[in-house]
Amino acid sequence: MRRHLLLMAATATAAVVTLAGCGDAGSSGTEAPASSAAGAGCAPVAGDSLVVLTDDKKLQNTDNVIPAINQKSSSPQLIAALDKVSAALDTTKLIALNKAVDIDRKSSKAAAQEFVTTNNIAAGLAKGPGGDITVGAANFSENATLGEIYGLALTAAGYKVKVQQIGNRELYEPALEKGDIDVVPEYAATLATFLSGKIDKNAKDPSSTDLTTTVTNLTALGAKVGLVFGAPSQAQDQNAFATTTAFSDKYSVKTLSDLAAKCSGAATVLGGPAECPQRPKCQQGLVDVYSFQAGKFSTLDAGGPLTKTALKQGTISVGLVFSSDGALAAG
């Protein structure tokens, strides 16, 4: 999975402090002071299935999948084809796509074709002016699959399409500006933050917990570098916090507010990357927004196999994951 700028880059307002009740930064199983763990907490519960807790107070910003397009390559028909993909895509379907590729080991091309067929993407698309279109994709499986979906939609709209995996944002975004590639599946909040830092490092973070605000700011930033955008989808790949389904059922915890109200205390173990305790979209945010106090913090990874294994084996109560991870698929 990609590593989100929103997690990995501390904001100017994010103080680097040791959080009461959360363990020291980078600690592994470090106990919090007894005075900070007011309740008994919720001990980990092992289980095979994972569930994301609803971010009911909107800690995370809106990292919705959105088509980013070189302005000179844009046409109404091209945007309409990409918008049809956005209209069909939500987080549940994105999780299913990731499961198909990452767990069931289908190719991105095969998963994309199934999505396009099942959702009737190609039907009724107006033919564009034609010509060559290069769809760029980042070097992780979810983005590669989205790139293939965009490619199939644009092919149906009459374009001759090449899908090219290019690497990280630092490589493909300049290529998109130059027109070396024409379209990229992007993530609204992370791209807005990236462009803002590139254009004006002292500017306020343009990403928001409100999708309309994020897209408005992203559109304005894109105009400065020759990019336009299609409609955002309802699919989000962003930081999230998960438990096992067994944990959620045992403690009746469905939201992050439930977690804070019922599970702040000594027995609760939070897992995530070493920088999580200081990050405003990770442990620090749970404290600031939800007043959640974990009894211990366990240093693992950023939504990767260490965190998911620790959840399933019952060594942590709650862990940082990405909201579109294929491991979150039901059944």
Write the pLDDT tens digit of every residue in 191-203. Answer: 999 999 999 988 8
What token pair was written down for 110? 């095969």
Report the distance separating Cα 98 and Cα 31, nearest Å. Answer: 35
What top-level class would CATH report for the domain 5-59+238-328?
A: alpha beta
Residue 36: its pLDDT value, please? 39
**Phi, psi at residue 163, to the nearest 5°?**
-105, 125
Q: What is the amino acid identity at position 36?
A: S
**Phi, psi at residue 11, to the nearest 5°?**
-80, 170
Q: What is the DSSP letter of 324?
A: T
Span(s) in the chain for CATH 3.10.105.10: 65-229
Nearest to 79 by CA among 138, 159, 144, 140: 159
With a cut of 70, list the residues of the chain below it in pLDDT: 1-38, 331
Contact 183, 82 (CB under 8 A): yes
Residue 39: its pLDDT value, please? 81
Report the distance separating Cα 324 and Cα 94, nearest Å. Answer: 6
Q: What is the amino acid identity at position 176?
A: L
Residue 201: its pLDDT value, please? 84
Residue 155: its pLDDT value, please? 98
Report the distance separating Cα 170 and Cα 224, nearest Å. Answer: 17
Nearest to 171 by CA among 137, 123, 217, 208: 137
Span(s) in the chain for CATH 3.40.190.120: 5-59+238-328
Report the distance separating Cα 200 and Cα 236, nearest Å. Answer: 26
Report the distance separating Cα 157 and Cα 76, nearest Å. Answer: 11
DSSP state letters, 179-226: TSS-EEEEEHHHHHHHHHHHH-TTSPP---SSHHHHHHHHHHHHHHHT
Residue 32: its pLDDT value, please? 42
Residue 12: its pLDDT value, please? 34
How far CA 201 is from CA of 8, 171, 191, 215, 223, in Å, comes to 16, 19, 14, 19, 17
What token pair was written down for 202? 């002292």
Considering the domain 65-229 in this protein, what is its CATH number? 3.10.105.10
Q: What is the DSSP letter of 33?
A: P
Nearest to 157 by CA among 223, 82, 55: 82
Residue 330: its pLDDT value, please? 77
